[in-house]
Amino acid sequence: MRADAQAQPNIALVKYWGKRDPVRNLPAVGSLSVTLDALWTRMSVELDTRRREDSLSVNGSTGDSMLPRVSDCLDRLLGAARPKAAIVSESNFPVAAGLASSASAFAALVVAASEAASLSRDRLTLARYAGAASGSAARSLFDGIVELSACDDEIDVRSIAAVDDWPLQVVIAINDEQPKAVGSGVAMLRSAATSPFYASWIERQAGDLDAARRAVAERDFAALAAVAEHSCLKMHSLMWTSRPPVVYWNKATLACMETVRALQQDGYPVFFTIDAGPQVKAVCLPGASEAVSAVLSATDGVRTVVTSGLGAGARILDAA
Ligand code: PMV
């Protein structure tokens, strides 16, 4: 009863920040993202009735700090009476550093575990289980450009453009590979409780989602750039105005934003977005990615640059 699955991280263009129901981990707002192809997490889940405890290995080391969240996710998916599991996770990028490693990890986990248990669950159901563990993980079940709707009691998730419909590129400038000091779950609750801007963030999200959906339907890059940068800066304003404040940026984050502004002034179709970490993701049209990558690589404080196209949703690699 073993299965291997792969999922890629996704990057939100209209951000998710805040929880409607912290216990069920339901998001307070919808979001819109792109699923990547160059970064991946491969997850092997082996269910064994003789095992007494779950075990987790992350990139060759014991993943004890993540194990409770992983075990809870398996309990919800397979029931508390499930066999215990040996879980092995490998990623080709730094984990917990604002590169959406929890998204690819939980998306791959639910796909591998349901296959190992021979459950046939549709993609949306698996996305809901992944989302209960990490809100953004629900989006990594789907390919291309993905919209998550935050309904009252459940989430809905679907791909709104396939990879070839609009082959955007994402150039990721990695500025610091250390795990973040404050997890996004804790930071979101803090923003909801203390940021004076939280209510207006919630109120305006539907308008941002409409604008982004329309930009995708019309392949209007400038319109997508405008709403995505605005959403990113609003989310970081919530973090900065929380008490105590949450600041994920470093000097290189600002330097990369200036680099993107200079590229825009030179006419390149590119915009930035930043998540719960210092890395800057520059989204561009395919013809611009080489120039964007070259200039970001030469920006002060940038350690590595990775370029990715859009990719597939989580899927089974192998089952035994
Ligand atoms: O899925 P979580 O709980 O790690 O939250 C991630 C939130 C952001 O990455 C900052 C924004 C988003 O929409 O992905």
Distance CA 20, CA 302 (A): 36
What was the pLDDT predicted at 52? 95
Average pLDDT, the chain: 95
For ligand 1, say whether the CB of 31 is within 6 Å of any of its atoms.
Answer: yes
For ligand 1, say whether the CB of 275 is within 6 Å of any of its atoms.
Answer: yes
Helices 101-116 and 123-133: crossing angle in degrees, nearest 10, is 130
Centre of ligand 1 from the C-alpha of residue 74, in Å: 21
For ligand 1, say whether the CB of 309 is within 6 Å of any of its atoms.
Answer: no
What was the pLDDT predicted at 96? 64
For ligand 1, say whether the CB of 205 is within 6 Å of any of its atoms.
Answer: no
Model confidence at 46: pLDDT above 90: yes
Distance CA 14, CA 26 (A): 17
What is the pLDDT averaged over residues 139-154?
Answer: 95
Query: Is residue 239 classed as helix, strand or coil in its secondary structure?
Result: helix
What is the pLDDT averaged over residues 254-258?
Answer: 98
% of the chain residues with pLDDT over 90: 92
Contact, 100 vs 9, CB < 8 A? yes
> What are 219's two structure tokens?
């392949």
For ligand 1, say whether the CB of 128 is within 6 Å of any of its atoms.
Answer: no
AA letter at 266: D
Element (H, E) at 186: helix 184-194
Atom of ligand 1 at shortest distance to CA of 135?
1
What is the pLDDT averaged over residues 67-74?
Answer: 97
- Among the listed residues 94, 19, 103, 150, the one whose alpha carbon sits nearest the alpha carbon of residue 111: 103
CA distances from 132 to 137, 139, 230 (A): 9, 12, 27
The CB density around residue 212, as the number of other CB atoms within 10 Å, is 24
Apex CA 260: angle with CA 256 and CA 262, to 5°? 115
pTM: 0.96
What was the pLDDT predicted at 177? 82
Distance CA 288, CA 263 (A): 10
At 224, give phi and psi (nearest 5°). -65, -40
- Report the Cα 192 to chain-centroid distance in Å: 20
For ligand 1, say whether the CB of 184 is within 6 Å of any of its atoms.
Answer: yes
pLDDT class of 98 with cuts at 50, 70, 90? low
Distance CA 59, CA 78 (A): 25
User: Which among 13, 14, 16 is the best mutation to test ligand 1's pocket, defined by most ligand atoms within 8 Å of the CB?
Assistant: 16
